[in-house]
Amino acid sequence: MSALGKLTATEAKLLMRDPGTLFVVIGIPMGLVLVFGLIPGMKQPNEEFGGEQPLSTFIAPMAITLLLGMLALNILPAYLATYREKGILRRLAASPVHPANLLVSQLAVQLLSALIMIAVVLGVGIGALGIETPGNPLGWLLALVLGIISLFSIGLLIAAVAPSGKVANGIGMMVFFPMLALGGVWVPKERLPEALQQVADVLPFGATLGALRETWAGEGPNVLQMVTLAVFALVAAAAAAKIFRWE
Amino acid sequence: MAVVEVQNLQKRYRDTVAVRDVSFTVEEGEIFGILGPNGAGKTTTVECIEGLRTPDSGSISVLGLDPRRDTDELRQLLGVQLQESELPERLKVREALELYASFYRNPADIDELLNDLGLTDKRDTPYQKLSGGQKQRLSITLALIGNPRVAVLDELTTGLDPQARRDTWELIEDVRRRGVTILLVTHFMEEAERLCDRLALIDSGSVVAIDTPAGLVATVQAEHRIRFRPSEPLNDELLTGLPEVRRVEWQQGQVTVTGTGNVVHEVTALLASKHIVAHELRVEQAGLDDAFVALTGRTIED
């Protein structure tokens, strides 16, 4: 097996041994769709949700966006910053394998676990809980891909600036919670004040959630949201690449 | 054959000069020590040799390779133990070795290495459950996993208890017996004296002296003291007549002879020729720490 393959397999094994991370990755999205999926009213068309079924057009997109947010903004940066803080990246730099391989394998493992959980949420949700399939599947896929790239780029930027795992956690939380509030998680976007609805569309978390909700309801992806995600992805990835240090 | 050659190495970080002027060569098969106080530039020097840092000036050659240009080839041949580098908490000992073994063209046999370093019992133990001594042994194992020709070990016994420290020293001697040339960074006099064939004494970024431990001690005009109770009366003049003797003092039938250089040998030879037995004999000789003080004007702990 190549060094990158071996590193990725090792990182996957380590993730499986990390109960806190598993709880977040599996528990949060599954808990949300299971709890709300069992409330009968959530499957009825609802006037407050524009006549749509809230389980499909609010809870399911939220479960996916929260999963991506936790992985990208909290778990990934905490792992990478800890690896830097403890000299694990540096140790690798002294071996024949460049530490960039560890970064790539960590990213691959986080992405893979995100994709697996999204598949599980969709499978269980659509198969057993009555969640509808996205009304605009291509738009939905575009929103998902851009959302993933954007959020993980921000995660890499946090990993680049944080000197330790603890600081990375702190920054992750500082970025994550305001984005929940402003992104229409605690209060659905349509019930936020007019001015804040605009903010929701130009922050990556809110833009991902909004785009997944709207495409799930069958609407086309909103250009402002797509541009927001693309810009955040480019800026954050470029800044992370410039700032990131191996030691 | 010189395995490592460092010439006029210089490295500064912003305003501070870490390495001012360091030159030395390490011969094949020897244990070469870099000894000096904390902050003397030892770690920066070896990090330049490992290709982890770029020197500002000077030249380095390791097995004929330039650490900055031939980095890939160097990494295959140079084993490294870094100061304060850890592994992921939940990674098990054997997994760590399997992972690192996969990075090298010609890795060592993992089970053999685990056995040699006394880690066979710990093969399935996660890193976070290892004791300090076990973690240190694992990091030495990782330095050897690629079957290196040269190993750089940085402060390998810092933080270990005396027993673990002695065990580690024996381990290093075993490693040398495998034919690995060792570059050892330390600030422990005892460690340097016990392990190293030759030493470079570094202070404030410059090499103060390079010699064998005994050679370094001998260059110091430090005084030796020989204290004993002679079995028969002994005339002062016999002792003061010896070229290297400086002082002779008596106290309650016990004589203390102070001198330099070869004084211990001269006095014992004199006693033997006179058939005098030295009871309660005690010799206080200059050690590396005395050499360090004499060469730098301060103690290593400063």
Same domain as B202, residue B124: yes
How many domains would you assign to chain B? 2
B301 located within any domain:
no
Q: Which residue of A has its CA nearest to B101?
A: A3
CA–CA separation, B271 vs A105, rounded Å? Answer: 73
A123 pLDDT above the threshold of 70: yes
pLDDT in tens, B181-230: 999 998 888 899 899 999 999 998 999 999 998 888 877 666 788 899 99
pLDDT in tens, B42-57: 999 999 999 999 999 9
B277 located within any domain:
yes
Q: Specify the range with the lowest mean pLDDT, choosing from B33-37, B56-60, B174-178, B284-288.
A: B284-288
- Contact flag A94-B80 (C-beta cutoff 8 Å): yes
Q: For chain B, what is the radius of gyration of the CA atoms?
A: 23
Same domain as B185, residue B123: yes
Residue that terminates a domain, selected from B163, B189, B218 = B218
Written as one string, the DSSP assignment of A43-85 is: GS-BGGGTTB-HIIIIIHHHHHHHHHHIIIIIIHHHHHHHHHH
Mean pLDDT score, B59-74: 94
CA–CA separation, B24 vs B61, rounded Å? Answer: 11
Domain that holds residue B191: 2-218
Residue that terminates a domain, selected from B218, B246, B270 = B218
Between helix A3-16 and helix B93-101 the angle, nearest 10°, is: 160
Order the strands of the B2-13 sheet from edge to edge: B57-62, B2-13, B16-27, B206-211, B198-203, B31-35, B181-186, B150-154, B78-81
B247 located within any domain:
yes
For position B242, what pLDDT does the model report?
87
Mean pLDDT score, B106-122: 92
Same domain as B243, residue B152: no
Same domain as B132, residue B91: yes
Tokens of B262: 């070869």
Same domain as B166, residue B83: yes
Phi first, then psi, for residue B206 (nearest 5°) are -130, 150
3 state SS of B66: coil
CA–CA separation, B75 vs B150, rounded Å? Answer: 10
For position B78, what pLDDT does the model report?
96
3 state SS of B216: helix
Order the strands of the B254-259 sheet from edge to edge: B245-251, B254-259, B224-230, B278-284
Nearest to A34 by CA among A113, A114, A120: A120
Confidence class for position A54, pLDDT limits 50, 70, 90: confident
The backbone region for B285, taken as left when phi is positive above 0, alpha when psi lies in -120 to 50, beta otherwise, is beta
- A20 CB-near residues (< 8 Å, 6+ apart): none
B209 located within any domain:
yes
Confidence class for position B283, pLDDT limits 50, 70, 90: confident
Same domain as B252, residue B201: no
Tokens of B300: 């290593």
What own/partner pairs with CB < 8 Å and gap ≥ 24 does B249-254 have?
B253/B229, B254/B227, B254/B228, B254/B229, B254/B280
CA–CA separation, B135 vs B88, rounded Å? Answer: 12
CB B217 within 8 A of CB B287: yes
Same domain as B169, residue B257: no
Domain that holds residue A75: 3-243
Nearest CB among A7, A17, A91 relative to B85 is that of: A91
Burial code (b: 16+ CB inside 10 Å, e: under 16) for B11-43 equals beeeeebbbbebebbbeeeebbbbbbbeebbbb
B87 pLDDT above the threshold of 60: yes
For position A96, what pLDDT does the model report?
95
Integer CA distances (angstroms), B141 to A101, B55, B160, B247, in order? 22, 28, 17, 52
Nearest to B147 by CA among B181, B173, B123, B124: B181
Same domain as B227, residue B122: no
Q: What is the mean pLDDT of chain A?
A: 92
Residue that terminates a domain, selected from B167, B196, B218 = B218
ipTM summary value? 0.88
3 state SS of B166: helix
Same domain as B132, residue B180: yes
Q: Specify the range with the lowest mean pLDDT, choosing from A11-20, A65-74, B276-285.
A: B276-285
B171 located within any domain:
yes
- Contact flag B88-A83 (C-beta cutoff 8 Å): yes
Cα angle vertex B21, ends B65, B75, to 5°? Answer: 25
- Contact flag B75-A95 (C-beta cutoff 8 Å): yes
Test mutation, A22, A80, A95, A102, chain B, max B CBs within 10 A: A95
CB B227 within 8 A of CB B39: no
Confidence class for position B302, pLDDT limits 50, 70, 90: low
CATH code of the domain covering residue B58: 3.40.50.300
3 state SS of B4: strand
B76 located within any domain:
yes
Same domain as B99, residue B213: yes
Q: Which helix (H) or strand (E) holds B116?
A: helix B110-116
Same domain as B252, residue B160: no
- Among residues 7-66 of chain A, which lie with CB inside 8 Å of chain B? 7, 10, 13-14, 17-18
B198 located within any domain:
yes
pLDDT in tens, A86-106: 999 999 999 999 999 999 999
CB B112 within 8 A of CB A131: no
Same domain as B59, residue B8: yes
Nearest to A88 by CA among B222, B301, B91, B245: B91
Residues of B engaging A, defined by a Cβ cutoff of 8 Å: 50, 52, 72, 75-76, 80, 82, 84-88, 90-91, 95, 98-100, 102-104, 126, 142, 146
Nearest CB among A83, A86, A96 relative to B104 is that of: A96
Instruction: Enumerate the residues of chain A whose CB falls inside 8 A of the CB of residue B76.
Output: 96
B34 pLDDT above the threshold of 80: yes
How many domains would you assign to chain A? 1
B295 located within any domain:
no
Written as one string, the DSSP assignment of B70-88 is: SHHHHHHHEEEE-TT----
